[in-house]
């Protein structure tokens, strides 16, 4: 799993680069929040992990191609986030139903106990 910065940069690259082939991009065009050195380091890391192919890098300009592994990673992460959100909604629903049914059962028990005593 990549850090948030690398994942954001990879997402920006996925939006900026075509499905196939290389494209020349400026570092600041991709991620204005990072310095040129940080972008260079991030591009190197993404290349080392097999997400990018770098044809050349001159200054702040990069000729890049996004590899299929990067798109597959982004798809997996999107599915994982959706599953986490679904799990959270389901847990919230079951917790609420459990709390209300427990409260109703306790109220009914209290009422029956008050009738008996």
Q: Count the alpha carbons within 13 Å of 6 in the hemisphere toward its beta carbon.
A: 18
| Residue-number span of the structural domain to which 52 is assigned | 4-69
| Domain total in the chain | 1
Domain for residue 60, yes or no?
yes
Domain for residue 107, yes or no?
no
Tens of pLDDT, residues 9-64? 888 888 888 878 888 888 887 777 778 888 888 888 889 999 999 998 888 888 99
Closest alpha carbon to 74 in 9, 27, 25, 22: 9
CATH of residue 19: 1.10.10.580
């Amino acid at each position: 799993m990549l850090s948030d910065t690398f994942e954001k940069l990879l997402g920006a690259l996925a939006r900026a680069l075509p499905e196939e082939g290389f494209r020349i991009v400026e570092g600041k065009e991709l991620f204005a929040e990072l310095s040129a050195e940080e972008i260079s380091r991030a591009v190197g890391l993404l290349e080392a992990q097999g997400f990018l192919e770098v044809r050349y890098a001159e200054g702040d300009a990069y000729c890049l191609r996004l590899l299929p592994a990067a798109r597959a990673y982004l798809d997996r992460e999107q599915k994982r986030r959706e599953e986490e959100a679904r799990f959270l909604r389901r847990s919230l629903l079951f917790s609420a139903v459990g709390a209300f049914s427990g409260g109703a059962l306790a109220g009914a028990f209290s009422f029956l106990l008050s009738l008996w005593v």
